[in-house]
Amino acid sequence: MMAAVNQRKPSGPKHTKLSIHVVTWNVASAAPPRDLSDLLLLNNQNLNLDMYIIGLQEMNSGIISLLSDTAFEDPWSSFFMDVLSPLNFIKISHVRMQGLLLLLFAKYHHLPYIQILSTKSTPTGLYGYWGNKGGVNICLKLYGYYVSIINCHLPPHLCNNDQRLEHFDRILETQNFEGSAIPNVLDHDLILWFGDMNFRIEDFGLHFVRESITKKNFSQLWEKDQLRIAKRDDPLLREFQEGPLLFPPTYKFDKKSNNYDTSEKKRKPAWTDRILWRLKRQPHIKPLTPCLPAPYFFLSLKSYVSHMMYSISDHKPVTSTFDLELNPLMSVPLITMMPESLWTVENDMLISYSSTPDFLSSCWDWIGLYKVGMRHIYDYVSYVWAGDNQVSLSDNLNQVYINISDIPKTENEFLLCYYSNSLNSVVGISKPFKIPLRFFLKDNSLDEDEPRI
């Protein structure tokens, strides 16, 4: 039976349920394998996911690789976008620190309700000067709720448990936002914390641990797991929840095999790769106004498993799938795009959109035209600055035009997204639509290669 937050389900206003899949994997500098369908649950026809949160550790961080990844997309990010973008998932944020990478994907219709507030890196290697160990964080507002996502790589070796706990605290402390409207991280509605935490199994010898794994007698090993011991003694760590460890320890394996370490060191197996969460306990609060629902989160863990089939690394990947039920504190997008009112004047296509009264636009806001299946927010076909060539029809209704020569002549479906520079996020997105080929006719003449209608 998977863990669930001990709160009653909402009974009043209609609530939203999001399905979130979290991945953590120490990839040991390896390139992506050909197929990650099992890891991403792509073969589960009954699962309708809304978000992917992917954290990798020990990506190839040599100088040549880092320079290449800076100039181009790193191979892991490219792989995930290639796989997920045809399924209408868009990479909406990422942060990298040497070998640590954190990626956030969401279905495109959620974009107006996800505001990226901050991305941070906390190096803890070499006394805080080197990023081979530490944590990376994405802080966001999700339907009006504060969420922090942390991917970490803590110090290795059995004897360094105190150092691991110290780094855990240090990473958490750096997530505070001084002089900002963003609350303290411990006041966030949800913290998802995962990664190669490197906690080991104390006391038991190698033979006993391996024998217990063979017999699937994991319960004896849990009692000596350093993280579970620390949670009993540390009040803050105790607030973080974890699902039951019903899978074999995920470290250390011989690469390209399912055999635990057969090298001279013969490292003792351990559950180094973990996924934790902390939900802010919310008392029952009446809404401030009758039209707003009371804040409410209900989080349930649907699965917590390892994926033994992957052998490119000495670690096995671990995933959790969550259902998050919430009363949206934000239910109307700041911008409403209206592609149904598209029309052309000479060589221009006009786009109409409306805004809520409290939306503060910027001259650096822009509207992008995208093919359905775009990889990330900068993967536009064309764009226009929202403040350029704009016609205000009323206080909150506007039109802006895109030069039609920038638009591909295709039968593909498109989307329009309004990007707010001050909020660093998409605040409005249209439904998919097609651009009639008649829009591309000029003076009733066509190039030879252009379709005739």
Q: Write down the pTM of the prediction.
A: 0.90
Number of domains observed in the structure of the chain: 2
* Claim to verify: residue 195 and residue 111 sit in the same structural domain: yes
- As a whole number of angstroms, the distance between CA 426 and CA 110 comes to 10
* Claim to verify: residue 375 and residue 269 sit in the same structural domain: no
* Claim to verify: residue 59 and residue 197 sit in the same structural domain: yes
Q: Which of 283, 305, 326 is the last residue of a domain?
A: 326
* Claim to verify: residue 217 and residue 255 sit in the same structural domain: yes
**Residue 399, domain member (yes or no):** yes
Helix extents (H) in 49-193: 63-71, 75-84, 161-173
Q: What is the mean pLDDT of residues 373-382?
A: 94
Residues 151 and 158: beta-carbon distance below 8 Å:
no
* Claim to verify: residue 243 and residue 365 sit in the same structural domain: no
Residues 117 and 422: beta-carbon distance below 8 Å:
no
pLDDT of residue 292 exceeding 80, the answer is no
Q: What is the mean pLDDT of residues 426-447?
A: 70
**Residue 4, domain member (yes or no):** no
CATH number of domain containing 364: 2.60.40.2840
* Claim to verify: residue 113 and residue 85 sit in the same structural domain: yes
In 283-347 the beta strands, taken as DSSP E runs, fall at 297-306, 318-326, 335-345
Q: Which long-range contacts (CB under 8 A, 24 or more apart) does 258-265 make?
A: 258/308, 258/311, 260/210, 260/213, 261/314
* Claim to verify: residue 137 and residue 189 sit in the same structural domain: yes
Residues 311 and 257: beta-carbon distance below 8 Å:
yes
**Residue whose pair of structure tokens reads 């495109």 in the numeric block:** 108
- As a whole number of angstroms, the distance between CA 263 and CA 248 comes to 20
Tell me the residue range of the domain where 395 lies. 335-440
Q: Which of 303, 326, 349 is the last residue of a domain?
A: 326
pLDDT at site 182: 82
**Residue 451, domain member (yes or no):** no
pLDDT at site 446: 39
**Residue 280, domain member (yes or no):** yes
- As a whole number of angstroms, the distance between CA 92 and CA 105 comes to 6
CATH number of domain containing 241: 3.60.10.10
Residue 293 has what DSSP assignment? P
**Residue 445, domain member (yes or no):** no
Residues 304 and 275: beta-carbon distance below 8 Å:
yes
**Residue 446, domain member (yes or no):** no
Q: Model confidence over 333-369: pLDDT tens digits? A: 999 998 665 665 556 778 889 999 889 989 899 999 9
Helices first, then strands: H and E counts in the chain: 7, 20
Q: Which of 277, 296, 326 is the last residue of a domain?
A: 326
- As a whole number of angstroms, the distance between CA 163 and CA 169 comes to 10
* Of the candidates 26, 22, 99, 36, the residue with the CA atom closest to the CA atom of residue 314: 26
pLDDT at site 9: 45
pLDDT at site 261: 96
**Residue 433, domain member (yes or no):** yes
Range of lowest pLDDT (82-91, 169-178, 378-387, 424-433): 169-178
CB within 8 A of 101, min separation 6: which ones?
Answer: 54, 55, 56, 59, 74, 76, 77, 94, 95, 136, 151
- As a whole number of angstroms, the distance between CA 148 and CA 139 comes to 5
Q: What is the mean pLDDT of residues 389-396?
A: 69
**Residue 419, domain member (yes or no):** yes
- As a whole number of angstroms, the distance between CA 368 and CA 417 comes to 5
